[in-house]
Amino acid sequence: RKQLNEKIILLLDKEVLKEKKGRFYIKKSA
């Protein structure tokens, strides 16, 4: 059960990083 939570947290972290990078690139190109 704890392992599953850790996996979900890792997936969420990856999505957040993608979002941050995407915004960063948009700001740079703008």
Claim: this prediction has a pTM higher than 0.75: no
Q: What is the pLDDT of residue 22?
A: 87
- In whole angstroms, how far apart are CA 26 and each of 4, 8, 17, 21, 23? 33, 27, 14, 9, 5
pLDDT in tens, 1-30: 789 999 999 999 999 999 988 888 878 876
